Homo-oligomer: A and B are copies of this chain.
Amino acid sequence: MYAVILAGGVGTRLWPRSRQNSPKQFTDIAGSGRTMIQETVARLEGLVSPEDTYVITGSRYAGLCSTQLDGLPEENVLVEPQGRNTAPAIALACAHLQRRNPEEVVAVLPADHLIEDGAGFRKALQQAEQCAREGYLTVLGIEPTKAHTGYGYIQRKDDRLPSAGDLPAFSVSRFLEKPDQATAEQFLTDGGYYWNGGIFVSRVEGLLAEYERQMPELYKGMNRIAAVLGTSELGGVLAEVWPTMPDISIDYGLMEGAERVAVVPMQVGWNDLGSWDALETVVAQDEGGNYPIEGEILQMNSKGNIVAADRRLVALIDVDDLIVIDAGDALLIGKKESIQHVKQVVEALQAADRTELL
Contacts and interface: CB of A to CB of B under 8 A. Distances in A.
Given A16-B315, A338-B317, A341-B300, A331 B326 contact: yes
A319 B322 contact: yes
| Copies held by the complex | 2
A319 B331 CA distance: 14
Contact of A317 (B300, B326, B342): B342
Contacts of A315: 16, 330-334, 342, 345
A145 interface: no
Nearest to A345: B315
A313 B329 contact: yes
A127 B334 CA distance: 50
Contacts of A10: none
Interface in A320-341: 322, 324, 326, 328-335, 337-339, 341
A62 interface: no
Nearest to A339: B317
A232 interface: no
A318 interface: yes
Nearest to A316: B333
A312 interface: yes
A354 to B, nearest CB: 8
Interface string A296-326: 0010110000000101111111110010101
A331 B309 contact: yes
A275 to B, nearest CB: 11
Contacts of A314: 330-333
A338 B318 CA distance: 7
Given A298-B345, A298-B348, A300-B345, A317 B331 contact: no
Contacts of A335: 317-319
Nearest to A320: B335
Most buried by B among A301, A312, A329: A312
Nearest to A356: B313
Nearest to A346: B315
A357 interface: yes
Contacts of A300: 334, 338, 341, 344-345
B319 A334 contact: yes
A349 interface: yes
B324 A333 contact: yes
Contact of A316 (B298, B313, B334, B357): B334
B301 A329 contact: no
Interface of A: 16, 298, 300-301, 309, 311-319, 322, 324, 326, 328-335, 337-339, 341-342, 344-345, 348-349, 354, 357
Given A298-B345, A311-B329, A317-B339, 20 more contacts: A298-B349, A300-B338, A309-B331, A313-B329, A314-B331, A314-B332, A314-B333, A315-B330, A315-B332, A315-B342, A317-B333, A317-B335, A317-B342, A317-B345, A318-B337, A319-B333, A322-B333, A324-B331, A326-B331, A331-B331
29 contacts: A298-B345, A300-B334, A300-B338, A300-B344, A301-B338, A301-B341, A309-B331, A312-B328, A312-B331, A313-B331, A313-B354, A313-B357, A314-B332, A315-B331, A315-B333, A315-B342, A315-B345, A316-B333, A317-B338, A317-B339, A317-B341, A317-B345, A318-B334, A318-B335, A318-B338, A318-B341, A319-B322, A324-B333, A331-B331
